Amino acid sequence: MLPEFALLCLLLATLLSLCQGALPWLSARLGASHLANRLAWLCVLLSGGALLLLALSFAHNDLTLSYVAQHSNSRLPLPFKLAAVWGGHEGSLLFFIFALQLWSVRLGALHQPLVTRARAQSIMGWLGLVLLLFLLIYSNPFARQFPPPFEGRDLNPMLQDVALILHPPLLYLGYVGFAASFALAVTALWERRLDSTLVQTWRPLARSAWGWLTAGIALGAWWAYHELGWGGWWFWDPVENASLLPWLLGTALLHALAAFERRSIYGHAILLLALLTFAMSLLGTFMVRAGVMSSVHAFAIDSERGHSLLILLGAVLGGGLLLYGWRGQLTFERVRFGWRSRETALACAIGLPLLAAAVVLIGTFYPLLYAFWGWGAISVGPPYFNALFVPLVLLAMALLIWLPWLCWQRGDHPLAPWTGLLRSLLLAVPPALWLNLQHPMPLAPLPALASLLAMWLAVVTLYALWRDGRYHLTMHLAHLAVAIAVLGASQLAGYTQQRDQLLSVGEHTLIGDYQLELTDISAELGPNYSAERYHLIVRRDGRELGRTWAEKRFYSVRTMQMNEVGLLRLARGDLYVVPGDKQGQRIALRIAYKPGASWLWLGGALLALAGLLPACRRRRSAAQEAACAH
């Protein structure tokens, strides 16, 4: 009876979403505006209840549900049964809808006029209605099958990882968070009102959505690094790019909101970016589910459902742009500022992510369009993205280094920024040089330049944090996180060492300054797999630094073999071991030394934290304010 009760919850949520979308546009005398928030809360309870009932169906291994039978197994550990709830198309879409309703409730708590809040929530209601209808018609996770199979197919072994318990929900919270920005943009266009009071409540909303998306992307990169066994953390896979696109546009949106809140500029950019960011979020949803591109992250799905998602994407993007063309004639006070000002820097901070998004969008979809027009098959891989995207990252870092020395409208002295920049550069050069020369490999020019810029940015940001105190804390934390992440990525890209070695028990090999000895090979039996485990000891100069193990696992239900990476985190970097084929009593191991990996994950965590922390509004001192006065 649980699935039937869940279906009833979804049907009621569909009806209430229709009311939530329609009632706020009716006469205020009916009290329709007051009902919007109450309807949003009811939709949260109903969709959350359906999600909970689906989780209980997985916990009870209810194989009469097709979705449970396809993604679970009686021997699957309980935490991975939770991951299986959103490990397939139907369950992930249900969580997507639940997250949408949560953000709709969040809109109801904004300090805005009641009518404005109700109209924004009505937009979320229409979006929820469309997605609920799609779920019930095409993607019902509670569809029964009789007779049920004796055993389930099990969750895809690649998804049986702790990171995949949290990675999809975090991504969806970010994706759907930008639906709230979309709703506010549509409301602002309808009311022809975009002022500082609206932006002050809008900006924390957009920043938290950006923070959730950042956390999801960082966790996904960590999963790819330690689970897939290819040794990297970003492959420019189409579905990876699909999450990067709304992140880049959301970054531009945040800078536009910051500029408008302080100087009432770039208002039209805010509206367009809010529309495009949510459109890119829906594009990511389409790419994961439409089956148009090959990816380890994609769901298998028929083309009919993919076409429906494409129609939804077109309706949202086309409708938003038509509304902008119809009611986007907003007028703002003319603001003058010099080229060496914070306003100009923020304009660049809006333009650079847009340019980077265009690079990613073209590289992702060009092969698809090339094949669509019958020109044949073509592949666009990492060389294209690295050649165009990496210089934009370096340019963005140079901009962030320059930003703390700039004031609003104009600087107080033309030489002040250059003095600070020179001093901070002198502080950054020695550690950057030491970091790049400690490796036995030759100096790599591009990673060395990236490391120098990262160190320079870290010095400048720490100075700005000391100067400003808690004022702009989240901004400084985000810029510091970018410096740390780029520092780690540059070290990984330029100085990773790798070798393949055949070892038997008792033999050892060297990589860099480290000696790895294979001490034992043991058979292991997991809850739903069997494995062969390879135990290793790591030494340096005869002193033991630690122990690790790698595994070759065989999942009998899926008849899949997976490699579990052996990772030993050291002060300078990671030792990374991937097992290969066995030849007699010897096992082929791919061993790598990856410097700076921990810095990459630390930078990603701090970047997400900067988005999720509440903004600190404490004013700076009078002297600091006067220094950056008009």
Helix H, strand E, coil C: the string for 191-221 is: HCCCCHHHHHHHHHHHHHHHHHHHHHHHHHH
Confidence of residue 259 (pLDDT cuts 50, 70, 90): very high
Residue 284, pLDDT > 90, answer no
Distance CA 532, CA 549 (A): 10
Residue 624, pLDDT > 50, answer no
Span 217-234, mean pLDDT?
A: 90
Distance CA 510, CA 546 (A): 15
Confidence of residue 615 (pLDDT cuts 50, 70, 90): low
Span 578-589, mean pLDDT?
A: 91
Decide which of 534 and 159 is more confident: 534
Q: Which two tokens stand for residue 30?
A: 């009916």
Span 431-436, mean pLDDT?
A: 92
Distance CA 430, CA 16 (A): 62
Confidence at residue 291, expressed as pLDDT on a 0 to 100 scale: 57
Strand segments, DSSP code E, in 456-585 are 497-503, 508-511, 514-525, 530-540, 543-555, 560-564, 566-569, 573-583
Span 290-294, mean pLDDT?
A: 58
For residue 104, CA distances in Å to 107, 108, 126, 182, 453 come to: 5, 7, 11, 11, 41
Residue 620, pLDDT > 50, answer no
Confidence at residue 24, expressed as pLDDT on a 0 to 100 scale: 79
Mean pLDDT score of the chain: 89
Confidence at residue 1, expressed as pLDDT on a 0 to 100 scale: 77
Top-ranked range on mean pLDDT: pick from 40-49, 83-92, 299-308, 432-441: 40-49
Span 248-277, mean pLDDT?
A: 94
Span 323-329, mean pLDDT?
A: 89
Span 451-458, mean pLDDT?
A: 97
Confidence at residue 295, expressed as pLDDT on a 0 to 100 scale: 55
Residue 299, pLDDT > 60, answer no
Confidence at residue 297, expressed as pLDDT on a 0 to 100 scale: 53
- CA dihedral over 89, 93, 96, 98, signed as positive or negative: negative
DSSP 8-state class, residue 159: G
Residue 618, pLDDT > 50, answer no
Confidence at residue 198, expressed as pLDDT on a 0 to 100 scale: 94
Strand partners, 544: 539
Confidence of residue 489 (pLDDT cuts 50, 70, 90): very high
Confidence at residue 329, expressed as pLDDT on a 0 to 100 scale: 83
For residue 483, CA distances in Å to 51, 99, 293, 364, 450 come to: 39, 31, 33, 27, 9
Q: How many residues in total does the chain contain?
A: 630
Please list, residue by residue across 510-538, b when 16 or more beta carbons sit within 10 angstroms of its beta carbon and e when fewer do.
ebbebbbbbeebeeeeeebbebbbbbbbb
Residue 189, pLDDT > 80, answer yes
Confidence at residue 627, expressed as pLDDT on a 0 to 100 scale: 44
pLDDT in tens, 263-279: 889 999 999 999 999 99
Residue 305, pLDDT > 80, answer no
Kindly report the pTM of this predicted structure: 0.94
Confidence at residue 332, expressed as pLDDT on a 0 to 100 scale: 78
Query: Of the given ranges (150-164, 205-219, 560-574, 615-629), which has the lowest mean pLDDT?
Result: 615-629
For residue 348, CA distances in Å to 125, 159, 307, 343, 411 come to: 35, 39, 37, 9, 17
Strand partners, 595: 573
Span 593-617, mean pLDDT?
A: 89
Span 213-239, mean pLDDT?
A: 91
Confidence at residue 619, expressed as pLDDT on a 0 to 100 scale: 45
- Radius of gyration of the chain, Cα coordinates, nearest whole angstrom: 26
Place of tokens 């007028």: 331
Compute how many other C-beta atoms are within 10 angstroms of the C-beta atom of residue 286.
Answer: 20
Confidence at residue 283, expressed as pLDDT on a 0 to 100 scale: 87
Q: Are 461 and 480 in contact (CB under 8 A)?
A: yes
Distance CA 516, CA 502 (A): 12
Span 431-443, mean pLDDT?
A: 88
Confidence at residue 293, expressed as pLDDT on a 0 to 100 scale: 58
Which distant-in-sequence residues (6+ apart) come within 8 Å of 95 by Cβ?
Answer: 51, 85, 86, 168, 169, 172
